[in-house]
Structure 1
Amino acid sequence: MKKTSFLILILLVTILTSCGSYVRIGDLTGISNRNLDDSETYVLLKRDVQAIAKSKNDDALEQAVDNLTREYEGEFLRNAKIYVKSNGAKVKVIGDVWGVQRTNVNVTTNANAKIELKIGDKVVFRRKGDLTDGKIIGLNATSVIVEYGRKKKKIELKYDEVIKTE
């Protein structure tokens, strides 16, 4: 009797843990549900974001990609990681959203000075206590994406963390 209840307990634990976890099925350099225009210049809009979609009519991956690109007003994902629930009910996509930068951003400081930031502007910001030079490669409603260093690293900063130099 003890053996049977122990085996049933192990079986239940195995079933419950397998239903709740995601299984990584792959990494993709780029993924999109739209046609891309070669004449457009695409920029990084948001880094390391995720979307989850439930499996309806076998289009969960398409729905997850659409949810991400729609939410951040982008066109496609780069560096995408795709996960599926072990029971196949949900798909999770994590990646960087890229799209067309449609607007410049006007920032008003405490001294009521207006500063316009746009893609390509050079900025300075603090990184580990030191001042670091960089170039804006993306803008969104609350932050700016800056490329810096010889290895062209990317960082997302709030508007009040950068100073425009040119």
Structure 2
Amino acid sequence: MKTTTLLILGCTIMSLSSCSSYTRIGDLTGISNRNLDDSQQYVMLEREVEAVATAENDALEQAVDTMTKEHEGEFLRNVKIYVKSNGKKVKVIGDVWGIQKTAVNVNTNANATIELKIGDNVVFDRRGTITDGKIIGLNANGVIVEYGKRKKKIELRYDDVTKTE
């Protein structure tokens, strides 16, 4: 009798806990709800952003729209998609890409102003080594720099990069 009660209790707890968790349904290289313009140069605007949407239908579309609108982007790359077991709630995690609209002016302590923009060459300290890179994105927190032979990407604070020419 005790074993039957424990077995039923265990099954109930497992079924309830599985209802509240997300199931990973896939990884995508890119996803968009808009037409992309081949003449534009797209840059990464934000890394590893998350959006959750609940709907009777089109929850995935709503989550993608939420992410692109919030970060003023056009599409997502390196996307992970999760769904609740009932299929009505979707979570999307990915990098937001779009058109960089502005350059950033950084004021230094010496009252000099340095303008950073997409395509500028910079150097930064990477594990004790000075590393060359190229700015591929700007956001409120810092710059996104691409570096190395494998084109790795890293987000750095404005104070951590030095513009080179």
TM-score (norm 2): 0.94
Contact 2:120–2:163 (8 Å) recurs in 1: yes
In the TM superposition, residue 110 of structure 1 has moved relative to its aligned partner by 2.1
What residue is the counterpart of 1:35 in the other structure? 35
1:113 equivalent to 2:112? Answer: yes
Q: Distance in 1 between matches of 2:148 and 2:7?
A: 57
Q: Distance in 1 between matches of 2:107 and 2:73?
A: 26
Q: Distance in 2 between matches of 1:109 and 1:128?
A: 24
Q: Any idea what SS the aligned residue of 2:110 has?
A: coil
What residue is the counterpart of 2:95 in the other structure? 96
What residue is the counterpart of 1:153 in the other structure? 152
In the TM superposition, residue 3 of structure 1 has moved relative to its aligned partner by 3.1
Q: Write out aligned runs for 1:7-22 (5 A).
A: 7-22=7-22
Contact 2:57–2:88 (8 Å) recurs in 1: no
What residue is the counterpart of 1:75 in the other structure? 74
Contact 2:20–2:84 (8 Å) recurs in 1: yes
Q: Any idea what SS the aligned residue of 1:36 has?
A: coil
Structure 1's unaligned 5+ residue stretches are: none
Contact 2:118–2:136 (8 Å) recurs in 1: yes
Supply the RMSD in Å over aligned alpha carbons: 1.2
Q: Any idea what SS the aligned residue of 2:155 has?
A: strand
In the TM superposition, residue 42 of structure 1 has moved relative to its aligned partner by 0.8
Structure 2's unaligned 5+ residue stretches are: none
What residue is the counterpart of 1:51 in the other structure? 51
Deviates more, 1:15-24 or 1:140-149: 15-24
TM-score (norm 1): 0.94
Q: Any idea what SS the aligned residue of 1:102 has?
A: coil
Contact 1:18–1:87 (8 Å) recurs in 2: no
Deviation digits for residues 125-147 of structure 1, max 9, x if unmatched?
A: 01001110101011111110001
Q: Any idea what SS the aligned residue of 1:145 has?
A: strand
What is the aligned-residue identity percentage? 72
